[in-house]
Amino acid sequence: MRFEEWEPIYERILADFGYDRKKDEEAAAVAAEAISRMSWKEVGGEELRRMIEGKSVLVCGAAPCLREELRSIDAFEYVVLAADGATSVVLECGVLPDVIVSDLDGYLPDIIYASRLGAIVVAHAHGDNIGKIRRVLPELSRVLCTTQARPLPPHVHNFGGFTDGDRCVFLAKELGAASVKLVGFDFEDTKVNLTKRRKLKWAKRLIEQALRDC
């Protein structure tokens, strides 16, 4: 996705949540500097494309229904993308995610463990996780960094998307997935707080847009 297409959506998200664009841009710069010093760990967009293009992709969200839904399908028929906190459940179900899309809010020991087993971590830098970007990136084995602000080639990408779940979908579609199947998503979850409910509404809207525009 060209940033010029994403930017109007991004501006609406900033306005809705009161986020500071300058902090997002600072986070992207921190990520770019950090990953440039660990070039042997950096995964390029083309490597991810070769993994995803033309394949059936399974996107795992972190809703409570994930475990049950995973049991009803053969995850090994798909390229598996785990959204942050979904990583722990996916691992518990005996599946190593191919890609973990994370702003590093999930259970980090599991994310780091999966990375060391070969999962690619698409680490998302934003204004609220600058400290984690500095601390966690060196612990990961295979990393690609993203931002929701303007990308900083060649080290920090923007494939579109806002929450971990919808960024999985945008990533899959941008890199040419033949199909995208969702498990572990509950956009109407009433047990989460109001901020999370608003994020779920954005996630639903963005996922519908990504799949409609494919």
**pLDDT in single tens digits along all 214 residues of the chain:** 799 999 999 999 999 999 999 999 999 999 999 999 999 999 999 999 999 999 999 999 999 999 999 999 999 999 999 999 999 999 999 999 999 999 999 999 999 999 999 999 999 999 999 999 999 999 999 999 999 999 999 999 999 999 999 999 999 999 999 999 999 999 998 888 999 999 999 999 999 999 986 5
Is 31:153 a contact under the CB 8 Å cutoff?
no
Residue 38's closest CA among 141, 146, 123? 141
Q: What is the pLDDT of residue 1?
A: 77
Q: What is the pLDDT of residue 212?
A: 84
CA 206 – CA 164 distance, rounded (Å): 11
The label of the residue with tokens 């996630």 reads 203
Q: What is the pLDDT of residue 213?
A: 63
Burial-class residue 64 by CB neighbours within 10 Å (0-12, 13-18, 19+): exposed
The single-letter DSSP state of residue 42 is B
The token duo for 148 is 């929701």
Domain boundary assignment for the chain: 3-212
156-to-4, 86, 138, 193 alpha-carbon distances in Å: 16, 23, 16, 31
Q: What is the pLDDT of residue 98?
A: 98
SS3 content of the chain, % helix, strand, coil (to 5): 50, 15, 35
Which spans in the chain are helix H?
3-17, 21-36, 45-52, 66-71, 86-92, 108-116, 130-136, 164-174, 194-212
The token duo for 111 is 């994310």
